[in-house]
Structure 1
């Protein structure tokens, strides 16, 4: 069970106890790689936690960029969130259909926009369903709510900043992809990308931070996972992955262990792996 913290991670028990709170808003932030063969919106429409709104990670993004689901412009974020009836004064809980994967990306995005009162549901929709809790297929009644945005630029990094960090070795770059992808032994799911990792990066596959039931490991175990991967937790951290989604699971785990000097490389390997001028390392180091 999660040690409930409405700014990072809450249990299904916590959510069930707060479902009637007037300022609670629940979001379904499900997203999957194309090869998963799953349609998150269709799954949401078939059944979701009562009152949940669907947060479309691909749509609520910067469509001016060729990269997948980059953080959206402030105006777009504000308009989409307002249309969901989510705004100032709300405690948000976000979940996904995998257990704990893409919901962390939505958590990070709200944090980037300056909203602190948001938590990921530990174990997500699978755990909620497994416990026999209420599910509905009706769309919620939504009333507009203003959302004040104060962008926290320290939470995001671009390719120039990550390249400098790799050269100077003044940050720990932590990669959430699987070990075979990190080592360059497995092809990337997106065509046209080189295999390997950013030189100097450490590999902490996001699922190594989760238990078998897709709940997040306790704080002491999270710290041990990072340390076992050679992560120097005294350095500022930059999280990365394939396209900026599972990197946020690392960001959430870092926040859980009390480390606040972390940022996320939004372009991640979808950007780095596409440019021949950027160096690529293979193997474990």
Structure 2
């Protein structure tokens, strides 16, 4: 049975085979090279490294957000070169509670590959279990990754603009509450949020140990946000389309399938002064 949302360190240690592909997605927005440096110092045995900005995003142009989605064929070719094929079980991890690993999880599903899971608790949970790390960068026999793009998984700025205040869209913002209110904004040139959005800080999906809350608890919490509505009407966003994937993963783990991603998120939205913004808790 494939893993399609979360996998525990115990399950990974017990079940992983050389045919699986494990990806280290560690990153720091304030120090972009630190993830690669940390990988070189020690990573899960057999893990390959993928960089948020070089591999999991395309170059920003000032209007398309800070972390635009990568070119699908580019990412498919990259994954294929690292041995990911149609039947490969993929596991993504980081050291930030899944903050960056969830981006790879969503991207693979967008490319049509459902056999992908995030390591619950990430590297800290792995090491707490007493599992080893190594500093050897593995090699892989290149294969073919069959790209089957699932465009129904995302929406664009025009869709969001056209559905503001529309009962058919519930917009959830994954940023911290202060940034949602327009306070302490250090990453984007404009503070605030998209009018009508609800704030669900992605870290609220986690327990104190960095592992995801139980599915029943996540289901209850997200159920309150969407007021018992259809998850297919939910659009997830954040600052640049990264931590929104964490909320998507949490919803999926809770059995609330079908929510979509606004990948450009706040950094794209606020780049156009014609688009409305809100501040505070409104």
Deviation at residue 143 of structure 1 after TM alignment = 0.8
Aligned-partner Cα distance in 1 for 2:174–2:197: 10
Select the residue among 125, 128, 131 that pairs with 1:130: 128
Q: Does 1:271 align with 2:268?
A: yes
SS in structure 2 at match of 1:166? coil
C-alpha spacing 1:126/1:114, structure 2 compared with 1 (3 Å)? same
- Paired residue for 2:206? 210
Superposition map of 1:39-188 within 5 A: 39-60=34-55, 61-63=57-59, 65-66=61-62, 67-184=65-182, 186-188=183-185
Aligned-partner Cα distance in 1 for 2:73–2:174: 30
Q: Does 1:33 align with 2:40?
A: no
Select the residue among 197, 206, 212 that pairs with 2:193: 197
Select the residue among 10, 13, 18 that pairs with 2:10: 13
Superposition map of 1:219-234 within 5 A: 219-229=215-225, 231-234=227-230
| CA offset digits 1:70-121 (Å, max 9, x no partner) | 2112221122112222222100010002132110011000000000000000
Could you tell me whether the CA contact under 8 Å between 1:58 and 1:68 is conserved in 2? no
Q: Which moved more, 1:197-206 or 1:72-81?
A: 72-81
Aligned-partner Cα distance in 2 for 1:100–1:24: 19
- Paired residue for 1:248? 245
Could you tell me whether the CA contact under 8 Å between 2:24 and 2:93 is conserved in 1? yes
Aligned-partner Cα distance in 1 for 2:81–2:32: 28
Compute the RMSD of aligned alpha carbons: 1.9
Aligned-partner Cα distance in 2 for 1:199–1:234: 21
Aligned-partner Cα distance in 2 for 1:33–1:86: 27
Off by >6 Å, runs of 4+ in structure 1: none
Aligned-partner Cα distance in 2 for 1:69–1:37: 13
SS in structure 2 at match of 1:239? strand
Aligned-partner Cα distance in 2 for 1:64–1:191: 13
Where does structure 2 lack aligned partners over 5 or more consecutive residues? none
Aligned-partner Cα distance in 1 for 2:210–2:199: 19
* Matched residues, number: 278
SS in structure 2 at match of 1:97? coil
Aligned-partner Cα distance in 1 for 2:161–2:124: 38
Aligned-partner Cα distance in 2 for 1:64–1:249: 21
Deviation at residue 68 of structure 1 after TM alignment = 2.5
Give the TM-score of the pair, scaled to structure 1: 0.92
C-alpha spacing 1:37/1:78, structure 2 compared with 1 (3 Å)? closer
Give the TM-score of the pair, scaled to structure 2: 0.93
Aligned-partner Cα distance in 1 for 2:272–2:113: 33
Deviation at residue 13 of structure 1 after TM alignment = 0.3
C-alpha spacing 1:65/1:117, structure 2 compared with 1 (3 Å)? farther
Where does structure 1 lack aligned partners over 5 or more consecutive residues? none
C-alpha spacing 1:191/1:173, structure 2 compared with 1 (3 Å)? closer
